[in-house]
Amino acid sequence: MASSRLKTGEIVLREWQRQTGLRETHLPFASLEALFELCLEVASPELIDRIVLRGYDAEDNLRHISFEFQSITITSQRKDE
């Protein structure tokens, strides 16, 4: 019996700028090691929005898994400061 295996994947980064609005960047990868490297390279102001994995299960059926994240920025500026 075959084992499950990754075929392709992508990280989707999001960045918000007041002047231009929301921008998405898609970064493809072909291994879990490459995914790990890409995650470590992400720097502010970009945020990881989702990670999408595409591959095959043990019965050779195509599978698609998405990990979606929610991010929020909170500023602690008070009017009396």
Q: Comparing 44 with 1, which gets the higher pLDDT?
A: 44
Arithmetic mean of pLDDT over the chain: 88
How many whole angstroms separate alpha carbon 52 and alpha carbon 12? Answer: 8
Distance of CA 12 to the CA centre of its chain: 4
3-state secondary structure the chain: CCCCEEEEEEEEEEEEECCCEEEEEEEEECCHHHHHHHHHHCCCCCEEEEEEEEEECCCCCEEEEEEECCCCCCCCCCCCC
Q: How confident is the model at residue 74 (pLDDT cuts 50, 70, 90)?
A: low
State how far the Cα of 62 lies from the Cα of 11, in Å rounded to an integer: 19
